[in-house]
Structure formats: C-alpha cells, structure tokens
Amino acid sequence: MSSRTLNTNTVIGGLMTLFGLAAVVASMGINPDPDGGWGARIFPLVGSVALVILGVVECAKGLKSPPPVSTSSGDRGVMGRILALLMLSLAYVWLIGKIGYLISTGLAAVGALMIFGIRNPIGLLIAAIVCPAIYHVIFFVLLGVFPPYGEWFEPLDIIQGY
Amino acid sequence: MEIFAALASVLSDPIILMWVFAAAIVGMVVGAIPGLTASAAIAMLLPVTFYMQPLAALAFLYVIGKSGRYGGSIAAILFNTPGTAASAATQIDGYPLSKRGMSSKAMKVATLSSITGDYVGEILLIAGVGIIAAIALKMGPPELFAVYFAAFVVIGSVIGKSITRGLASAALGVLIKMVGLDPISSEERFTFGSFDLSNGISLVPLMIGIFVLGEVFSQLEARGKPIEQFDDPDNDDARARNRLTWAEYKPCIPHVIRSSFIGSFIGMLPGLGSAIAAFVAYGEGKRRAKNPEEWGKGALEGIAAPEAANNAVSGPSMAPLLTLGIPGSIIGAILIGVFLIHGIQVGPTLFLTQKELIYQLFACGLVGIAAYGLIGYYGASFVGRFILKIPTDVLYPVIFLTSFVAAYSARGSMFDVLIMVIAGFGGWLMKCYDFNPAAFVISFVLAGGAEETFRQSLLLSDHGALIFFTRPVALGFLIVGVVAVVARARSLSKQAKEASLNDA
C-alpha cells in the first residue's frame, strides 16, 4: 500500500463518517410507510449507516498510520491544472445557460487546449471555430437533439434567422 | 439452434455488419490509446446509440467492448504502456519481444490468442445463458435480493486495494441512486426541495462523468510522459523474424485453452473483470510452463495466456446481466442504459420477451470477433503507428468537449451536464484515493432492483427479514457475500504482513 494511502486514511475515514452521518439525518427525514413499516426510508438508511460504519473503520486504520508526507511542487502544478479544468467545466455549464452552446463551446475549446499546453494562436482560433461547428452539425443537426438556448444571448437566433 | 438463425440474419444485414466492423475499428483504436478505455468510449458514444435501432446500438457497443479489450495489447506490446489494465500482463512478455524487433510476431500471437479466448467465452455464453435464465426465472424476490446483496459485497470488496473504500464506493452508489422519488410511495428522498433532484440522478451523465471526464482529469496528471515505440525495420530479415510459424504457436495452445476457461469463469463472477483474469492466467501459465525461466523475457506463451483470458471474460460477463439484470462489468452497466432507453427490461424475463434480439446480439459478437481478429492480424502495427500520430494534448480536450455534448444529448438537460461534471471530478478523486468507481456505478445500477426485491420480500414475509434466512438459495447467496468479504480481508491482511516482514 502506498504511503499516501496510509497517511490519508484518517481524513478519508472522517469525511466518510461525516457524509454518512449527514445522510443518516437526511434519511430520518424521509417519511416511512403510513402503516408504520420502514418503506421508502429503509434503503437510504441502511446505505447511510453502512457508510458511517465503514468511515469509522477507515478512521481506526488511519490512527495506526504514519504521519503525512508533504506534497512536492510537481504535484501542486498538476493540482493547479486539475482545478483549472474543474473551474472551466463549471464555467462552461454556466455559460451554455447564458450565451448558448456555440460561443461557450468555442471558449471552452480554447480553455481546454490551453490547460493541456497548446499555445499556438492559429490552432486555438481554428479550434474555437471548428469545435462548435462540428458538434452542432453532429448532435443538433444530424441527430436532431434540441440545442440548449442561452438566456442572455443566443447566436442560433441570428444564424437560423429567427 | 437460435444462434444459427440469428447468425444468418446478421450476416445478411449490411447495416448491422457495417456497425459491427465500425465497432471493431473504434474499439481497437480506443483500446490502444494509453489511458483511454473501451468503457470510456462506450460511455461517450452511448447517447449517439439512442438514435439507432436496438440491435445496431447494442451490437456497436458490445463489439467496441470486445475489440477494446484486444486493442489494449497493441499499446502494451508496441509502446510498453498498457492501453487497458487487463493488458498490463501482456506487456510483461510483449515489450521484450518488441525490443528484439519482433513486435509483429508478438501482435500475431496476441491476436490469435485473443480471438480464441473470445470465441470460447462467447460460445460458453451462448450455450449456458439459456440454462441460467431458466433457473433465474424460478427465483423469487428473496433469492433475487440475496443475489443483489452478494453482488454488492463482492464488487465492493474484491477489487481494489482497500475493502472499506470499495464497500464505501458501493454504499455511495446506493445512496446516490436513492435521490428522487420513491418508486412505490412517491415519497421524496434526498431531494432537498430541488425539482431537478426529484427526477433522480440519470445513469448516462453519471457514467460519462466518471469514465470519460474523470479520465480527462487523470490524463492531466499523466501529461508529458514520453511514449517509446520499437518499430520493426522493413527488410527481409525483419520480415522473416516476424513470421509466426505453426511450430512457434503450437506450445501456446494449451495455455490459450486453459486461460480461455479461466477467463470465462472469472467473467461470470460480477465485478472481477479482465485485469484479474489476465493476471490469474499469466500466473497459472507460468506455474505450469515448461520454460518458466523465459517468461518475462519475451516468451510467446506469456503473451498468449493473458490475452486469451482477458478476452474470454467478454462473453460470460454478459450472463449475469442478461439473466439476472446484474451487470458484471462496467461495460455491462453501460449496456443496461441502452436496453432501458430502448424499452427492454433486462432480467430473468428477457429470454421470454426478446430472445431473438439477444441471439442476434450474440451473433454480432461472433462476427465482431472475426472482424477485429482480421483487422488486428494484418493491421495492428498500422494502428500502433496511427495512435502515435494522435496528439494527446489535442485528443483529450476534444474528449472533454464531447463529454459535455454527450451528457446533454441523453435527455436534453443542462442539469445532467452539471451532474456529469460533478461525477467526473468525483470519479477522479475516487481513483486518486483508492475508491472503486466501477463498484460505485454498478451499485448505482443494482440499487433500484435490490430495493424493489427487498421490499417485495418483506411484503411476502410473515416474519420480516427472517424470510432471507429461511429460504436456502437466498441464505446461500448471503453466505457467499459474507465469505467473499472475509476471504478478501484475510488475503489483504496476509499481504500486509508479508510486506511488513519484507520491510523489516
């Protein structure tokens, strides 16, 4: 087992326990059957209690583990890129809802390529134009999926002449 | 006999054949790209198949799964980077052969062994699935719940480094499935007043998130690692060196046959999968080999054994899915989504309602094996060179964007896209901290059926939960679950003790 696994047992066990306890509280808020049986509550409650028990076991294992090792600068660089990709993902979802699919996909294509180390401006420009066009043709024209429309501005209104 | 009629039907349908051949190529390429798995490709392509005929959709994804398992060997042999976890065992002997300029010979052995293993598995599935389905039809809710329980526990505890985190992954899968309205009483569960949550969490965005977007996050960690390829020179000497003769392949045959049955047996057990089958077959092959000292240094038998086992898993892993509705693998879990979207109920009654379709699917599997075998035998090196030309710094951003549009296309819902993003980051975290994403997804799929059969059992019972202990088959499966956890705990404890003794 890796040293990181050993060192993180306590933290992960604690998080599992907390999540499980929150789920137990939420499960107790589910109305049982009117005739007094467990009904809709039993499965969520069993799953939550199982998570609490497993969290406690994980914590107990963690207390026997050696102290954590500090993170190297290389790991921090990777973590930065991963967080950047997560932020881009959330921003992309939000932007689709506000300015429609086409523009937000162009922006997300540039962002994702930059996170993966592509810096060529012509390549980025081509991606910004080609990616939305290809996805639009495949999914929204050929497959007939109804596209997500932007709340603030929708370029499809202009392109399709509405 | 149904299989012959189905085979005739498939072979006379050019559209289905086109999809099968397309799947053979897509699966091989995807399996050969290090980091990208057949499961990820299937999850990403799943929404596209909603617009296809049921047989074409199922055959396309099923054959991608088969071909993807084989495609992993291309990267393992040519690049010393296993394209899939299962092909890591092939790498042990495959790459030393590549370094000696015999990559084509290694690929030919891998191809022949893969298709033999795959055919053995598929034929066992075709021969045995009807019998299992007939037995499954006689099971009542208590027995089915006990099977679900055993599947949860085995899937959660057997794979991965940590039993507690594996079981926690399964418990999390159950909890996430509970979000939404209770199917019996329509009571809201874990919705927190959200309308979107009251519709429940959909399987498709969850899988796209975990297996596709999660992989993009993982690739950011792996970015920049160079891939080395030993290409065979194009001269008479190299061609002679890479020619595979009958005398060379003959010693591999006992290993291929044994490994095919090992893979088929492991494939039937939910959750174990190709990687375990490949390593068990490799270990068993080396133990029985006449030349164990050559294993690990480029023995052809060392490629044949894991490749046969790895692909033999494919067919039998469909048995629990088709007969009990229990997906034995990630690909099985994804295929459930296809069945459901086409209005086909998977489970014991499937062979009564959709027998023709299922046998046609098996026939597509048989044709698909031949397709990837032919393409691989003559074109594996070409596929390898093609993979090297794909810039991963462009490929993964494209996969990133595709995951969003694929998640949206399933139900036309932006909430699904948000779920996909959360699942993607969660899937990456799970992999980082030794949780088990496969157990999470399979438990998510199983939880609905498990809850239904559990509550039906309690309604049938006059003595509450005692019904599970008074019915022998149900009790047997409950014991199987408990024994699996205890055996795994003992095995891990033994490994930990051995490791600490080695450290001392």
pLDDT in tens, B336-347: 888 888 888 887
Q: Does any domain span residue A53? A: yes
Strand residues in B258-354 grouped as ranges (E) = none
Report pLDDT for B17. Answer: 94
Report pLDDT for A162. Answer: 52
> Does residue B482 contact residue B153 with C-beta atoms inside 8 Å?
yes
CB contact under 8 A, B425 and A86: yes
For residue B452, the number of C-alpha atoms closer than 13 Å in the C-beta half-sphere is: 11
Q: Which two tokens stand for residue B397?
A: 């951003």
Mean pLDDT per 10-residue section of chain A, whose length is 162 residues: 61 92 92 70 91 91 70 70 95 92 93 92 93 88 83 78 56
CB contact under 8 A, B414 and A96: yes
CB contact under 8 A, B404 and A93: yes
Asked whether the CA dihedral B22, B23, B25, B29 is positive or negative, the reply is positive
Strand residues in B143-233 grouped as ranges (E) = 180-181, 188-189
Counting the structural domains of chain A, the total is 2
CA-closest candidate to residue B468, choices B133, B132, B148: B148
Q: How many CB atoms lie within 10 A of CB B182?
A: 20
DSSP tag of B86? G
Report pLDDT for A2. Answer: 47
CA-closest candidate to residue B320, choices B458, B178, B147: B147
Query: What is the three-class DSSP state of B180?
Result: strand
In whole angstroms, what is the distance from residue A134 CA to residue A105 CA?
11
> Does residue B132 contact residue B350 with C-beta atoms inside 8 Å?
no
Nearest by CB: B414 against A23, A82, A93:
A93
Q: Does any domain span residue A68? A: no
User: Last residue of some domain: A13, A36, A63?
Assistant: A63
- Percent with pLDDT over 70 in chain B: 94
Distances (CA, A) of B393 to A117, B99, B222, B417: 7, 27, 11, 23
Same domain, A111 and A143: yes
Q: Which residue of B has its CA nearest to A62?
A: B164
Apex B215 CA angle, A13 and B195, nearest 5? 70
B228 in reach of chain A (CB within 8 A)? no
Give B124 to chain A, closest Cα distance, Å. 36
Give B24 to chain A, closest Cα distance, Å. 21
B370 in reach of chain A (CB within 8 A)? no
Q: Does any domain span residue A137? A: yes
CB contact under 8 A, A39 and B455: yes
DSSP tag of B315? T
Chain segment B41-91, per-residue pLDDT in tens? 888 888 888 888 889 999 999 999 899 888 888 888 887 776 667 778 888
Same domain, A58 and A81: no
Q: Which two tokens stand for residue A101?
A: 């699919």
Q: Does any domain span residue A57? A: yes
- Average pLDDT of chain B, as a whole number: 85
Same domain, A9 and A57: yes
Structural domain of A25: 3-63
Q: Per the confidence metrics, is the pTM higher than 0.80?
A: yes
Same domain, A59 and A96: no
Q: Does any domain span residue A77? A: yes
User: Last residue of some domain: A28, A45, A63?
Assistant: A63
Same domain, A59 and A83: no
In whole angstroms, what is the distance from residue A18 CA to residue B308 CA?
45
**Domain range annotation of chain B:** 2-224+235-503
Q: How confident is the model at residue B178 (pLDDT cuts 50, 70, 90)?
A: very high
Angle between helices B472-503 and B141-158 (to 10 degrees): 10
